[in-house]
Structure formats: C-alpha cells, structure tokens
C-alpha cells in the first residue's frame, strides 16, 4: 500500500538537506527528561527528520553545565543551545523578569506561551539577551506554582510568617511580602532541602513536584494559591545560529511551533494524573479562602509590580511598555 506519510517525510527531509556539512549542536539542560524538557526533545527529533540527520541536537542533562551557569555557557559558546530560568540570575536578564511578576493573571499554558513569546520578540528583550550572545528561541511554559509542605497545613496567610519556602523570582518576592523566608535552592536540591528541614515548603509546578520527588514526602498541597510562575526560555548562541545554512536554520525555526504544541499536549497528561497521585500518596489538597487570596494579592502584586517598573525604568529599560505588552497580549489571547 502506497504510504503518503512516508513520501511526505522523505520530501521534507530532501528539501532541508541541501547543506554539505553536518551541524551538531550540544544542548545543556538539567535534571532528567520530563515534561519541562519535552519541547526540546521534540525539536531535536523534528530537526533531524527535516534535514535527513544532517543537523542534530545532542541533549545533555547536567553533563555540560550547572543550570545556573547555562547562560554563561551560551555567552562563551561552550554549547549551542540551553535552557535556563530568569529567576536564577535576574540581573543578567532583567527584561524577561516581567514574566515572573506575581499574580499576572495568566491562567493557561497557552496564555503563558503567548505572553512569553510576545516579550521575547520585543527589541529591548532581544538586546538584553544579546549581551550574552543569546537568541531567545522558545519558552518552557509552566502552570501556576503551588506549594507542598509537611506537618500542619499552611492554610492561612498568617501561617506563612517565618515559613521557609523554596521559591525563586517574583514568586519568592511574593512570599517574602507576606512574611515567609524564600530561598533559591536549585530544583535538584529541593528534595534534600525539604527532607532535612532546610525549607518547610517547596513551590513548584506539578511536573517538578513529580520530577524532583517533593510530592513523595509532602503531607499537603495548596491547590489554589497560584502566586505566579517562573519563566524559563530556551536560547541559542547567536553565532551558532547565524552560522547555520539557510536550510538548517529553516529546519530549526519551522519546528518551534510543533515542538511547543507537543509540549502542551504532553503537559496536559501530567495535569490529568495529578489528583490521582495526590490520592495515592495521601497528600491533602488545601484550599485557601478567597479572602486570604485577596489579601495575598493586595500585599504582593501591586507593590512588587510598581517597584519592578521603577527599578527597571531606572536601568533604562522600557519597563512599563513590557508590562503593558504582557497585559495586552493576555487580553488578545482570550478573545
């Protein structure tokens, strides 16, 4: 039986395979393969298929660099592609920290993709990352963070006072505003920090509670705190990107949307099994009253946003414009 799908794949590979020399890029990730990295895995698969194997992405989970040093590695060309999170080094990527402000109101992963890519496309953001010879390729969209903890549930804002929480970026600032003590231990250190009592609670998206096993030692999880999320782009070294042939660059660029779509579909499976896992592990779901959430938003959202705008403007960045871009993109995404 004639297989049109096979013919289409072969034709696509032929179209992209005009480059005489093979390109082999090293990609620096961390942890292990998980929902957070599925778009990079898919990107590697698509690029290889489109170029007939002439352009390959060699993905390393921690073998090339520490996660907090990935942007530095990109800047010196130690590897060609990497993933990092804005909150790891806010001074190195101030423009994208707008996406980590607490209580932005982003409700879905699709909305997170829309606002992230709008900010990434802004000239100020591109210039910001170009200081590190980095080109923003795509985001790693994550849902709103919530916390897991042991012992008595933190089911009221008053109980956050003195709480040691693993939280970075704007989420950490939000918790600090209500009296908690944020610490930015890396994701890979979170389990040991929680187990040893260095932190009382850990703020993650669902996939990370799975991947870093914090759910395994948790007694409770806040299902509706939703203080915000972190922004973790995938970037490429500008020199490496510009050094690609037109065909290989087209193979990379044309694969981004499909890689993101794969990520979203896969993450949906993570969310679908979350409640089952909570029940299996006897983790209680804690719902904070709306009055508590309103107080949290009033205490954290407005002051932190205004301070961010003032601080970034003082650095010569179009802070208000970037924040307004997030809000207008969010509104457009909901039409």
Is pLDDT above 60 for 205? yes
Q: What's the pLDDT at 28?
A: 98
This prediction has a pTM of 0.85
> How many domains, the chain?
2
Burial of 255 (0-12, 13-18, 19+ CB in 10 A): buried
Q: Are residues 66 and 22 in the same domain?
A: yes
- CA atoms within 13 A of residue 58's CA, in its CB half-sphere: 9
Q: Are residues 127 and 247 in the same domain?
A: yes
The tokens for 227 are 């203080």
pLDDT tens digits, one per residue of 165-203: 999 888 999 999 999 999 988 889 999 999 999 999 999
Is pLDDT above 90 for 19? no
Strand partners for 10: none
Domain boundary among 242, 270, 298: 270
Q: How far is CA 138 from CA 33, 39, 83, 157, 296, in A?
A: 18, 9, 10, 35, 31
Q: Are residues 31 and 129 in the same domain?
A: yes
For the chain, what is the mean pLDDT? 92
Q: Are residues 72 and 189 in the same domain?
A: no
Q: Are residues 88 and 47 in the same domain?
A: yes
Question: What range defines the domain where residue 254 resides?
Answer: 4-142+230-270
Contact 64, 50 (CB under 8 A): no
Q: Are residues 85 and 196 in the same domain?
A: no
Q: Are residues 93 and 191 in the same domain?
A: no
Q: Are residues 91 and 190 in the same domain?
A: no
Confirm whether 266 is domain-assigned: yes
> Rounded to whole angstroms, how far apart are CA atoms 168 and 76?
26
Domain boundary among 217, 238, 270: 270
Is pLDDT above 50 for 41? yes
> Rounded to whole angstroms, how far apart are CA atoms 161 and 154?
10
Q: Are residues 110 and 236 in the same domain?
A: yes
> Rounded to whole angstroms, how far apart are CA atoms 41 and 29?
11
Q: What's the pLDDT at 201?
A: 97
CATH code of 315's domain: 3.40.190.170
pLDDT tens digits, one per residue of 45-62: 999 999 999 999 999 999
Q: Are residues 158 and 204 in the same domain?
A: yes
Is pLDDT above 80 for 8? no
- CA atoms within 13 A of residue 178's CA, in its CB half-sphere: 27
């Amino acid at each position: 039986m004639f297989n049109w799908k096979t013919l289409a794949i072969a034709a696509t590979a032929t179209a992209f395979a005009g480059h005489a020399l093979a390109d082999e890029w090293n990609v620096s990730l961390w942890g292990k393969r998980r929902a957070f990295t599925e778009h990079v895995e898919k990107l590697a698969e698509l690029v290889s298929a489109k170029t007939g194997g002439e352009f390959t992405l060699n993905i390393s989970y921690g073998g090339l660099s520490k996660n907090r040093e990935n942007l530095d590695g990109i800047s010196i060309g130690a590897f060609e592609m990497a993933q990092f999170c804005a909150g790891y080094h806010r001074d190195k990527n101030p423009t994208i920290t707008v996406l980590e402000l607490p209580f932005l109101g982003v409700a879905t992963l699709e909305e997170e993709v829309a606002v992230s890519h709008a900010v990434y496309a802004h000239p100020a953001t591109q210039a910001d990352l170009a200081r590190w010879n980095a080109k923003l390729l795509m985001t790693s969209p994550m849902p709103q963070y919530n916390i897991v903890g042991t012992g008595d549930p933190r089911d009221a804002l008053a109980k956050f006072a003195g709480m040691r929480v693993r939280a970075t970026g704007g989420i950490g600032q939000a918790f600090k505003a209500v009296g908690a003590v944020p610490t930015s231990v890396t994701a890979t250190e979170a389990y040991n920090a929680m187990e040893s009592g260095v932190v009382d609670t850990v703020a993650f998206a669902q996939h990370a509670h799975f991947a870093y096993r914090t759910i395994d030692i948790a007694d409770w999880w806040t299902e509706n705190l939703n203080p915000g999320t972190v922004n973790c782009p995938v970037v490429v070294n500008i020199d490496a990107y510009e050094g690609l042939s037109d065909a290989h660059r087209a193979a990379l660029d044309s694969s981004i949307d499909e890689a993101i779509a794969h990520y979203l579909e896969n993450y949906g499976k993570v969310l679908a099994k979350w409640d089952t896992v909570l029940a299996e592990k006897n983790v209680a779901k804690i719902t904070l009253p709306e009055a508590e959430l309103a107080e949290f938003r009033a205490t954290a959202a407005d002051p932190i946003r205004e301070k961010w705008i003032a601080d970034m403007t003082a650095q010569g960045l179009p802070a208000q414009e970037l924040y307004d871009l997030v809000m207008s993109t969010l509104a457009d995404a909901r039409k």
